[in-house]
């Protein structure tokens, strides 16, 4: 593996010229840049991170702050997101810095440290102080999701409102009128948006939200199991369940089996599907109808957006909303008579 000195000697150029060519300085002509890049590939050149930082003023790394209270390294959503994120950055010889903290001021400390060129804000709350802190510092960041109010920041989100509006409409079209919603926690922006989509679809059919059919909780298998047990104990149990996570739906499925109820026959189920590599919704005992938006692709997109942001792309050009796809399978059918 060649270093900068080897590369410069091979080309007969100064190290300064080679460094500027590799970092795409406008003062270096296109022919020289091409020659340097071809030689770098030929000699398997990899930049020294410290030298690159001195030459460009950039750390060559982006930061992720993990909540202390959640073991995200065992969370399949985070693992898939991180896979897409790190793979995209590695292709550009960029690194990821991970730390754990529940203190929003950690973001300020990292922004001031020079260790990272930008940050990812995950699981945004309805009112999120982290957005305010980094916006006031004018430090590059991308939010995985959105907060309430006007968005004056870069973000990548899915159309949570539209996904659950469409899913609820489909169940209504099948004749369901008692539709339960198992959702994320009330402080999460995505959960509010999904509830509003559900509510708006019901309102279009002159159906009021029944609070006894709506649950907010951490999206785990056990929460799905617990709330399905409560729903099945109702005098008039729901004929359909809309679920915010495939992990929760594992618990839904387990409890329905214990109740001797079959998904798609006795109770229809639609789940949101993040396209997890470790949990294929088409492989459930009854293949799940889903709203799908793969989370690994979110990691890849956000990596590219961070790179664009530090290279000067305007925030208004880095606000992306992806539509979720409704995929119908055997877990949904017409409402039982």
Identify the pLDDT of residue 295: 96
The predicted pLDDT at position 266 comes to: 97
Topology (CATH) of 61-158+296-322: Rossmann fold (3.40.50)
At residue 40's C-alpha, the angle toward residues 35 and 42, to 5°, is: 95
Give the C-alpha separation, 115 to 91, whole Å.
Answer: 20
Same fold, 61-158+296-322 and 160-294: yes
Q: What is the pLDDT of residue 289?
A: 98
pLDDT recorded at residue 185: 95
Name 310's Cβ contacts closer than 8 Å, sequence gap at least 6.
58, 117, 118, 140
The DSSP string of 182-199 is EE--TTBHHHHHHHHHHH
Nearest-angstrom CA–CA distance, 12 and 79: 45
Q: Where are the domains of the chain?
A: 4-43, 61-158+296-322, 160-294
Q: Burial code of 319-334, b = ≥16 C-beta within 10 A, e = fewer?
A: beeeebebeebbbbbe
Distance, in Å, from the CA atom of 84 to the CA atom of 116, rounded to the nearest integer, reads 19
3-class secondary structure, 73 = helix
CATH architecture of the domain 160-294 equals 3-Layer(aba) Sandwich (3.40)
Cβ atoms of 310 and 117 within 8 Å: the answer is yes
**How many other β-carbons are positioned within 10 Å of the β-carbon of residue 73?**
11
132-153 burial, b for 16+ CB within 10 Å, e for fewer?
Answer: ebbeeeebbbbbbbbbeeeeeb
Residue 245, exposed/middle/buried by CB under 10 A (0-12, 13-18, 19+)?
A: buried
**Could you tell me the two tokens for 12?**
């007969």
Pick the closest to residue 270 from 226, 239, 232 (CA basis).
Answer: 239
- The answer to whether 248 and 271 have CB atoms below 8 angstroms apart is yes
Q: What 3-state DSSP class applies to 51?
A: helix
pTM score: 0.84
Place of tokens 């693992």: 79
Q: Helix 246-258 to helix 221-232 angle, to the nearest 10 degrees?
A: 40
Per-residue pLDDT of the chain (337 residues; tens, 9 = 90+): 688 888 899 999 998 888 888 877 778 899 999 999 999 989 988 766 555 665 566 888 999 998 876 666 678 999 999 999 999 998 887 899 998 888 999 999 999 998 999 999 999 999 999 999 999 999 999 999 999 988 899 999 999 999 999 999 999 999 999 999 999 999 999 999 999 999 999 999 999 999 999 999 999 999 999 999 999 999 899 999 999 999 999 999 999 999 999 999 999 999 999 999 999 999 999 999 999 999 999 999 999 999 999 989 999 999 999 999 999 999 999 999 8
């Amino acid at each position: 593996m060649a270093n900068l000195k080897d590369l410069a000697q091979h080309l007969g150029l100064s190290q300064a010229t080679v460094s500027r060519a590799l970092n795409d300085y406008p003062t270096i002509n296109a022919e020289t840049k091409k020659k340097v890049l071809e030689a770098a590939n030929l000699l398997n050149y990899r930049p020294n991170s410290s030298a690159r930082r001195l030459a460009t003023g950039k750390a060559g790394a982006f930061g992720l702050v993990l909540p202390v209270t959640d073991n995200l390294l065992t969370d399949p959503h985070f693992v898939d997101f991180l896979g897409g994120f790190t793979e995209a950055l590695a292709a550009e010889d960029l690194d990821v810095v991970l730390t754990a903290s529940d203190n929003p001021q950690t973001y300020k400390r990292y922004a001031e440290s020079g260790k990272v060129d930008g940050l990812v804000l995950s699981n945004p709350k309805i009112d999120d102080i982290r957005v305010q802190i980094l916006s006031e510092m004018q430090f590059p960041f991308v939010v995985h999701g959105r907060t309430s109010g006007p968005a004056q920041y870069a973000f990548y989100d899915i159309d949570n409102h539209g996904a659950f509006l469409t899913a609820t409409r489909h169940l209504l079209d099948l004749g369901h009128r008692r539709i339960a919603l198992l959702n994320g926690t009330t402080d999460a922006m995505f959960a509010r948006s999904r509830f509003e989509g559900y509510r708006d679809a019901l309102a279009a059919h002159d159906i009021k939200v029944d609070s006894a059919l709506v649950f907010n909780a951490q999206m785990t298998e056990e929460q799905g199991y617990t709330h399905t047990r409560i729903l099945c104990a109702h005098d008039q149990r729901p004929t359909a369940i809309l679920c915010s996570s495939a992990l929760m739906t594992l618990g839904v499925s387990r409890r329905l089996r214990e109740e001797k109820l079959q998904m798609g026959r006795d109770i229809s189920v639609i789940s949101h599907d993040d396209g997890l590599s470790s949990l294929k919704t088409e492989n459930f005992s009854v293949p799940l109808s889903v709203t799908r938006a793969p989370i690994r692709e979110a990691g890849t997109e956000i990596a590219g957006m961070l790179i664009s942001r530090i290279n000067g792309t305007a925030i208004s050009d880095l606000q992306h909303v992806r539509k979720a796809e409704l995929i119908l399978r055997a877990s949904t059918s017409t409402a039982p008579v």
